[in-house]
Structure 1
Amino acid sequence: MEFSVLTVNPAKVETACLVVPLFADGDLLSAAAQLDDASERLIAQLLERGDFSPELANVQLIPFAPGLAAERLMLVGLGKRDKFNEGALRKALDAAFGALAKLPVDSVAVAFTDADIDDRDVAWNAQMTLESATRAVYRFTQCKSTPAEAPQLAQVEVLIDDAGQVDAAKAGARIGAALGDGVNLARTLGNLPGNICTPSYLASQAETLAGESDGTLTTEILDEAALESLGAGALLAVGQGSAEPSRLIVMKYQGADDPDEAPHVLVGKGITFDTGGISIKPGAGMDEMKFDMCGAASVFGTMKSVIALKPKLNVIALVASAENMPDGRAIKPGDIVTTLKGLTVEILNTDAEGRLVLCDALAYAERFQPASVVDIATLTGACVIALGDHASGLFSNDDDLALDLLDAGENAWDRAWHMPLWDDYQAQLDSNFADLANIGGRPAGSITAACFLSRFAESYPWAHLDIAGTAWDSGKQKGASGRPVGLLTRYLLDREGERVVTSEA
């Protein structure tokens, strides 16, 4: 998505569609007031007659507006001022760009920076605008024999009042466009079916991403022979019932001036299809288990955003990828496997496979002496019960890291909720036959899953994001959401910001 920032009178902007927000109470915002004057009170009359109600996310297209250079005018409701917040702005933006994506327009000018939110600046507003625009034009068409016509929208002009804020608005829009592209890549990988998006396919996508990076991203693919030599017994155990070979995918982004600077590591769960294995899942809804690699998809999306934004820090992405199938060679309940860390695990349920591939990846991360490690996984149905589809579950062995991730989620409006990781829960993983079991029973299922992972992340600051409730939508609008690319990218950009502050001090 291309963008520009303008400070001209909105009535003089030549564009296919001019988009202005309106509150349900109080005076018109700056751009709307200027347009109202130029159009002989068109907007005020529509409001006075009740022809347009500025309820939140209500959209009305006016095909022709006298006195304006724009071909069309679109009004977007923001609701009441005292209820307006970040979530309301996102809803209004998504409604506007969703409507625009259906129109035969290739460029638009939008005045959403008029809609101020406490503690949010013009850069944040511009970021949200471009992110919403980029997400709105996304269509999954790879598997359609006759794809629907793609949206024409390709150019967004951000209108602002203050010429002194142009640079800030451009910086925010640049982040938003990169985030939107990253989210859309994550959505595509998540939406692809399991017969296409295999561990080997993900490995090829990593190589493609590296080829697009101007040399800032390199890849290493560990095949099953390499994993066996390494001792990654848990990852290999999950995939041994599948005809698709497992992979550990390593992507290294070099952005810091010092190549030896401690990297931030992202670890994604890449189960490209999860039948549950021998502990097979019910048939209803099993098609959605292609989304069980959305943690990996979010890592790919974040790396796409990173190579576009080029932050001055080092980032390593690890994707532990396998297919969980109930073949005659598949692992069975009661089997014991030896992990890369050397701990043995009694497998009580083969459907608790995500933690098995992740534990080897977390052990592998130790070799990088990381500044932080964040794993992302569609790990437990228990997290969906606890938090629904609004917040990702956050667990961490480091309070500072947890707070940084929570702040990043609030800033990106891709929020998480801090869950307990107390030692009290660890005993649920006790095993009579191995060092630990891979499940801890029904109580506190998402917590004991995180406790399992914590055993393999003791040597560095670590956090776990359980995205089982946020990674995809079910029902009529079924599809991957691309979360938490926004949270992860903002977390990394914040770490770059900390480096700048430290170096200046």
Structure 2
Amino acid sequence: MKFAATAQSPYGIKCDCLVEFVNKNGINAIAKDTPTAVTQAINHLRQQGDLSESAHARMVYPEGEASAKRILVVPVEFELKANSPAHTTGKHLSGIANTIAKAISDYPIKDLVIHFDDRFMHSAPLSDQDGVRDAQVFTAALLNAVYKSDAFKGKETQDKNKKKLKSLPGLAKVTLATQDAELKDVKQGLVQGEAVGLGMITARNLGDAPPNICNPQYFTAEAKKLAKKHPKLTVKVLGEKELKALGAGAYLAVTQGSANPPQLITMEYKGGKASDKPICFVGKGLTFDSGGISIKPGAGMDEMKYDMCGAGSVMGVMQAAAELKLPINIVGAIAAAENMPASNATRPGDIVTTMSGQTVEILNTDAEGRLVLCDTLTYVQDKFKPQVVINMATLTGACIVALGHHTAAVMGNTPELTQELQELSLKVNDPIWELPLWSEYTDDLKSPFADIPNIAGGRGAGTIIAGCYLQKFIKDVPWAHLDIAGVAWNSGAAKGATGRPVHLLMQYLFKQLDTKPASDKAAGPAVRKRKPTARKTTVKK
């Protein structure tokens, strides 16, 4: 699949479909070069009353001379709102991408041209618009909206899907037609958005893979495949023997009932100066979580294959960063494990010694994510001396009770970091919201027999308590914890992994590069140096 950006008029490009954005009164006045054939087609919809902002996209066929075989008319809100939050822009652009993907899915469309004019695609004031970010958000969202995974379907089903053109290979080229003044920004955002979108797809594919395929060893194999493609990326794996030698008693307690041994995988990307401390991302990678002896209810247990989505997002970020050749040092750590009941499995009441030396009383074996994470956090801090640590995990069902399925939770020890992440999350429609880690909650983590228990006594504030537990293993380094339990996957008819929070984490990396002093940027962000031409994208199924 090829992406391109051009300042050529969208009305002069031959294509299977042109996407045009209109308000309820017809095409926006900015587009003064609209040909008669296009205007007539849109006016017909307006006369029929089909252009309200709540209306669905409409496919029309222009009469007379037109470079596009079809025109997809997408009603949007154009009014510039003085206090429009950034979240409105990101959410709006993602919604437009989803609308387009849904509307073209039943048509034989291979060449798509989108009239991408940043001035009227969303409702944010002109002073708040960001052409790079908007193109990035739109491109990543479109990639994910069009993509359909059928990797584990039978051949007959795969062939049928290809014939319907509902999988990614059906759409061969997407061109964003913008204005001269915006072309440079749109091209840069397109390159970024493509890498982000494909990183999200990688995270989704890992999440959707069945647990008999995607086990800890599978994660290791995928990490090594990625490293072979990128010379600046190296992989190191700690198995059961190495973890025992390091004293990772909490990590090993989770895995001892499983036939699949643990794999603590670190991916080190060296794109910056050798003296620069890395940014470290840590992902919970429970490839299946039965709950162990504290076993989960049978209904819905199949979705516990998604308990590795934090690790999947780390893989997606490392892929995107390496593809863009970002001039920054990054470490991605994956705590891969499987939590199963067995005669030798950890029991409620067992006490283990963590890599940090602290002892933990395991009161509930289903609170296992924090056990693998605490040893992994200790390891990466000691090994890599990072400047920042951000971990993400499908950690608590309590997070869904608190925030539902729209927003993830963020907690941390540095207000500047958590606030920055929250602000960035709204801009790219990958929202998070901060919860407090106050001492009153930490006081609930007390055990009469060990230094700390892995759960508190009551049911309240479960998400915060888990964050307080992890904080006990953080040294003198800025740290943020993302609980993505409510947003990592969808249930029901649209069941599947979402790829969150890959976009947020990549936006955080872009922000760090933008705010670096000029002397520290080396040659500058690679995305700004690359020649922004049409690029061919291949997505493995």
Distance in 2 (alpha carbons) for counterparts of 1:25 and 1:40: 12
Question: 5+ residue gaps in structure 1?
Answer: none
Q: Is the 8 A contact 2:394 2:484 kept in 1?
A: yes
CA offset at residue 112 of structure 1?
3.4
The SS at the match of 2:444 is helix
Match of 2:466 in 1: 449
My pick for the range that moved more, 36-45 or 176-185, is 36-45
Question: 5+ residue gaps in structure 2?
Answer: 522-541
CA offset at residue 55 of structure 1?
2.7
The SS at the match of 2:352 is strand
Distance in 2 (alpha carbons) for counterparts of 1:103 and 1:235: 50
CA offset at residue 283 of structure 1?
0.5
Residue pairs, 1:260-299, within 5 angstroms: 260-299=275-314
The SS at the match of 1:341 is coil
CA offset at residue 103 of structure 1?
2.5
Normalised to the residue count of structure 2, the TM-score between the two structures is 0.89
Match of 1:363 in 2: 378
Q: Is the 8 A contact 1:269 1:377 kept in 2?
A: yes
My pick for the range that moved more, 403-412 or 163-172, is 403-412
Residue type of the partner of 1:324? Answer: N
CA offset at residue 40 of structure 1?
5.3
Distance in 2 (alpha carbons) for counterparts of 1:57 and 1:239: 52
Match of 2:66 in 1: 68
Residue pairs, 1:357-396, within 5 angstroms: 357-367=372-382, 368-396=384-412
Match of 1:49 in 2: 48
Match of 2:93 in 1: 89
| 2:190 paired with 1:181 | no
CA offset at residue 123 of structure 1?
1.9
| 2:120 paired with 1:104 | no
| 2:144 paired with 1:145 | no
Per-residue CA distance 1:230-267 (angstroms, 9 max, x = gap): 111111110100001111000000110x2131100000
Distance in 1 (alpha carbons) for counterparts of 2:279 and 2:39: 56
Match of 1:198 in 2: 215
The SS at the match of 1:277 is coil
Normalised to the residue count of structure 1, the TM-score between the two structures is 0.95
Distance in 1 (alpha carbons) for counterparts of 2:292 and 2:29: 57
> Which residue of the other structure, out of 126, 129, 137, is the alignment partner of 1:128?
137
Distance in 2 (alpha carbons) for counterparts of 1:284 and 1:460: 40
Match of 1:227 in 2: 243
CA offset at residue 503 of structure 1?
4.1
Task: Summarize the Cα distance change of 1:327–1:29 in structure 2 as closer, same or farther, 3 Å threshold.
Answer: farther
CA offset at residue 88 of structure 1?
2.4
Q: Is the 8 A contact 1:347 1:438 kept in 2?
A: yes
Distance in 2 (alpha carbons) for counterparts of 1:489 and 1:125: 14
Task: Summarize the Cα distance change of 1:231–1:65 in structure 2 as closer, same or farther, 3 Å threshold.
Answer: farther
The SS at the match of 1:30 is coil
Match of 1:249 in 2: 265
The SS at the match of 1:361 is helix
Which fold has the larger relative contact order, with Cα–Cα distance below 8 Å and residues 6 or more apart in sequence? 2
Q: Is the 8 A contact 2:131 2:182 kept in 1?
A: yes
Q: Is the 8 A contact 1:57 1:91 kept in 2?
A: no
Task: Summarize the Cα distance change of 1:68–1:249 in structure 2 as closer, same or farther, 3 Å threshold.
Answer: same
Match of 2:533 in 1: none
The SS at the match of 1:109 is strand
CA offset at residue 313 of structure 1?
0.9
Query: Cα RMSD (Å) of the superposition?
Result: 1.8
